[in-house]
Structure 1
Amino acid sequence: MPDLGRVLGIETSCDETAVAVYAAGEGILGHVLHSQVDDHAVYGGVVPELASRDHVRKLPGLVAELFAQTGLSGRDIDAVAWTRGPGLPGALMVGAGFARSFAWAAQVPAIGVHHMEGHLLAPLLEPNPPAMPLVALLVSGGHTQLVQVAGLGRYHILGESLDDAAGEAFDKTARLLDLPYPGGPAIARLAARGNPGEIDLPRPMTKRPGMDFSFSGLKTAVLHCFRESCGGANEQRRADIAYAFQEAMVDTLTIKCRRALQHTGCRRLVVAGGVGANARLRERLDQLAAGDGFSVHYPSLEYCTDNAAMIAYAGYLRLNAGGGDNLDFTVRPRWPLGDLERP
């Protein structure tokens, strides 16, 4: 198969509609994203039907905007990559239908990409990307996983959340503190005004062996603190709660990352997903890396949240490794990363 130089990526797994083009030897040529955050904020979270409808409305125009931005046309695209899962079923179907139709009309190959593989590979889009093997911390609204990465498609899950993902815990804690959606950035802003040492919250599952996570107990501890100790009326106490929650979350993630690196012997860590944009988490992991002598790698902030650049890149790698789909565009709303096949 000839090298598929330009890959159009399409991402519609949740509440971002995004398109991008990745080109061999050049990187991301263009990236356009529409976020539905403001539309869903009034509901305190994503409404699946509203998300699907907005993808239908926005996707054709975003592709036209991308082509105008890059000076490309459909004739310049060598392949199409789209998010097959995991995600919201209706939202995934919108992207799948558009991507497969585009690929059929252009007579180019297409491939459905695993959303979390896209996140895992996003740091490789940066200058001086890390080599494999490595350990990946995938930390987002729907997933919290530590993954040993031997190569493309060669993933071993070291640990994952047994209940809420880290991003979910941020969102639920933000709702309790009467902060806007999404919760991660709102808590980080409020935590900047918090006082260290005022509130002590647990670091879940850090005193037992293993690399799994659990954040439901941390969320419950915040609830008890808010109701019983703090009363919730004082703005400074809310800031103290936010500070304590963020520190507990960051401590827990950092401890488990260190444990995963020690367990595997890897000296490279990549951090991806929306929570990976948290400045305090990056600060602590950078400190740990300097002390322990390993390297840590992050995607650019624009590629931490859901985006099509990572989908285009993951699709490029898999298509050029011999992957591809027929005209079927079945989506997989639930799709364990460990079920991915090697290309």
Structure 2
Amino acid sequence: MVSGNLLNILRGKKCFLASEKLAETRLGVGHRFYRVLAIETSCDDTCVAVIDRLSCDSAPEVLVHLKETLESHDQGGIIPTKAHLHHQIKIAPLVDLALAKTESRNAVDLVCATRGPGMPGSLSGGLDFAKGLAVAWNKPFLGVHHMLGHLLMPRFSSNGSAPNFPFLSLLVSGGHTMLVLSTAIDKHEILCDTIDIAIGDSLDKCAREIGIRGNMIAKNMEAFIKENSLEARSQTVNLRLPNPLRNQNKRMNIQAFSFAPFLTAVRQSITKDILNYSQAEIRSMAHQIQEAIFRHLLTQIKLVVRLNRDKLSSVRNFVCSGGVGANTRLRELLQEELATDFDNFYFPPLGWCTDNAVMIGWAGIELHESLNLHTSLDATPIRKWPLAELLNVDGWRS
């Protein structure tokens, strides 16, 4: 862990000072600043990126990003042992290919990998490999918080200048749904979290109930709806879908999300074998499911904003990131419904919304340059790692 006084000192450093040791053999006319190898293996995606940090004054350049996803749709979900084996098989070839494509075998200055949160078996596949490379190359290693990567990714293209702190982030994925107030790289307060399952998990499971298949089921459902939006809005089938916590909020103002009730409601609304429904009826159901889940999300966000008006008085920037953040309908709703509460809305490019190694590399760059941090080689995976306790774990070094 890092002391508060030390953090205050480190925050005053400029990036060229924080990275001086990394770049001392690289600086000079025509030379790059430093190069980052980043690895992400928190779930079922094996991701590797090589990033060039050419200057403190411009956004980094992604030299390569490679990704191999475990095919698990036939199993009805991710099996941890198979995910672990997938990473064991894929990580070395992907890193080897990334280094070859970018001619980086002797040119990496910083190694970053996801340390948590996530499935321990999956995390260990990338974390252990990254530590081994750091030892072999005698380079610093940085274990990155997965959700911090999502949260900071919208700052990548602006080189960290926008959105500027403070900002409010909606992190939406298959494993997380939370509303986070960020006032600095290491200062994050979770204002709202899910009390059961994540929004992405709910979308996937509800989509599976109405017969949609694939490895990214919620994304496939969105595409299915877009194929014929008029048909989707036709209400040929009326599902009885809830807005969870709404009645309780009239009395208690519960600042939380709840997505498990949608799966129960969908199952109860389907009155016959799904194969006996027409395509138009299924598309209508898909539209209603997506709209209802997003309606609940917006209802709770508005509640949190209202109850934390004083705390959020100076916050004018809103971020949405994570895999579900790639949904264009959700992006539209956020900007429409929250227009009076925030001036600016930020989203990562669609390709960087789902799990990727670039976000891990960028978060590593921000941690390194802002706080001059790296991670000790005895660091282990962290299955549950609250974002509000980013630096309150063993292994941080400065």
TM-score, length of structure 1 as denominator length: 0.92
Tell me which amino acid in the other structure corresponds to 1:194.
A
After alignment, is 8-17 or 290-299 more displaced?
290-299
Q: Distance in 2 between matches of 1:253 and 1:22?
A: 34
**Paired residues, what number?**
340
Q: Distance in 1 between matches of 2:260 and 2:170?
A: 19
Q: Distance in 2 between matches of 1:140 and 1:293?
A: 22
Q: Compute the displacement of 1:231 (Å).
A: 6.7
CA 150–293 in structure 1, closer or farther in 2 if over 3 Å, else same:
closer
Q: Compute the displacement of 1:290 (Å).
A: 4.1
Q: SS at 1:227's partner residue?
A: coil
Q: Distance in 2 between matches of 1:69 and 1:129?
A: 31
Matched, 1:139 2:172: yes
Tell me which amino acid in the other structure corresponds to 1:314.
A
Tell me which amino acid in the other structure corresponds to 2:190.
I
Partner of residue 223, structure 1: 267
Q: Show the 5 A alignment for 1:1-343.
A: 1-3=18-20, 4=22, 5-24=34-53, 25=55, 26-37=59-70, 39-70=71-102, 72-127=103-158, 129-181=162-214, 182-192=216-226, 193-195=231-233, 198-206=238-246, 208=249, 209-227=253-271, 233-235=276-278, 236-262=280-306, 263=308, 264-265=312-313, 266-320=315-369, 321-341=371-391
Q: Compute the displacement of 1:237 (Å).
A: 2.3
Tell me which amino acid in the other structure corresponds to 1:57.
I
Residue 159 of structure 1 contacts residue 210 of structure 1 at CA under 8 Å; is this kept in 2?
Answer: no
Per-residue Cα deviation, 1:100-119 (whole angstroms, up to 9, x for no partner): 00001111110111111111
CA 41–33 in structure 1, closer or farther in 2 if over 3 Å, else same:
farther
Instruction: Find the structure with the greater CA-based Rg.
Output: 2
Q: Compute the displacement of 1:309 (Å).
A: 0.3
Q: Compute the displacement of 1:206 (Å).
A: 4.1
Residue 240 of structure 2 contacts residue 269 of structure 2 at CA under 8 Å; is this kept in 1?
Answer: no
Q: Distance in 2 between matches of 1:65 and 1:129?
A: 33
Tell me which amino acid in the other structure corresponds to 1:273.
G
CA 159–299 in structure 1, closer or farther in 2 if over 3 Å, else same:
same
Identity of aligned residues (%): 35
User: What are the ranges of 5 or more consecutive residues in structure 2 without an aligned counterpart?
Assistant: 1-17, 23-33
* Pairwise CA RMSD: 2.2
Q: Distance in 2 between matches of 1:173 and 1:8?
A: 37
Tell me which amino acid in the other structure corresponds to 1:269.
F
After alignment, is 319-328 or 155-164 more displaced?
319-328
CA 129–66 in structure 1, closer or farther in 2 if over 3 Å, else same:
farther
Q: Compute the displacement of 1:190 (Å).
A: 3.1
Q: SS at 1:42's partner residue?
A: helix
Q: Distance in 2 between matches of 1:41 and 1:118?
A: 26
Q: SS at 1:156's partner residue?
A: strand
Q: Distance in 1 between matches of 2:134 and 2:155?
A: 26
User: What are the ranges of 5 or more consecutive residues in structure 1 without an aligned counterpart?
Assistant: none
Q: Distance in 2 between matches of 1:257 and 1:66?
A: 40
After alignment, is 50-59 or 17-26 more displaced?
17-26
After alignment, is 315-324 or 81-90 more displaced?
315-324
Tell me which amino acid in the other structure corresponds to 1:60.
A
Q: Compute the displacement of 1:46 (Å).
A: 1.3
TM-score, length of structure 2 as denominator length: 0.80
Q: SS at 1:76's partner residue?
A: coil
Q: Compute the displacement of 1:249 (Å).
A: 1.4
Q: Compute the displacement of 1:187 (Å).
A: 1.9
Q: Distance in 1 between matches of 2:285 and 2:181?
A: 33
Q: Compute the displacement of 1:200 (Å).
A: 4.9
